[in-house]
Structure 1
Amino acid sequence: MTDLRIRAARPEDLDAVLAFWKTAAEGTSISDDRGGVEGLVARDPGALLLAEHAGELVGTVIAGFDGWRCHLYRLAVRPDRRRLGIGSALLAAAEERFVRLGGRRGDAMVLERNETAHHAWRAAGYMPEEHWRRWVKPLTD
Structure 2
Amino acid sequence: MSDLIVRPAEPTEVAALLDFWARAAKGTSVSDDVAGVTRLLERDPEALLVAEQDDEIVGTLIAGWDGWRASLYRLAVAPEYRRRGIAAALLRAAERRFTALGARRADAMVLDANPEAHLTWQASGYEREEQWRRWVKPLTEL
In structure 2, how many angstroms separate the alpha carbons of the residues matched to 1:111 and 1:81? 20
Offset at residue 2 of structure 1 (A): 1.9
Offset at residue 97 of structure 1 (A): 0.2
1:86-101 alignment, distance < 5 Å: 86-101=86-101
1:55-134 alignment, distance < 5 Å: 55-134=55-134
Moved runs in structure 1, 4+ residues, more than 3 A? none
One-letter amino acid of the structure 2 residue matched with residue 68 of structure 1: W
| Structure 1: gaps (5+ residues) | none
Aligned-pair identity (%): 61
Offset at residue 108 of structure 1 (A): 0.3
Offset at residue 56 of structure 1 (A): 0.5
One-letter amino acid of the structure 2 residue matched with residue 134 of structure 1: R
TM-score by length of 1: 0.99
TM-score by length of 2: 0.98
In structure 2, how many angstroms separate the alpha carbons of the residues matched to 1:79 and 1:24? 6
In structure 2, how many angstroms separate the alpha carbons of the residues matched to 1:13 and 1:59? 13
SS in 1 for 2:94: helix
RMSD: 0.5
One-letter amino acid of the structure 2 residue matched with residue 139 of structure 1: L
| Structure 2: gaps (5+ residues) | none
In structure 1, how many angstroms separate the alpha carbons of the residues matched to 2:113 and 2:15? 27
In structure 2, how many angstroms separate the alpha carbons of the residues matched to 1:118 and 1:67? 27
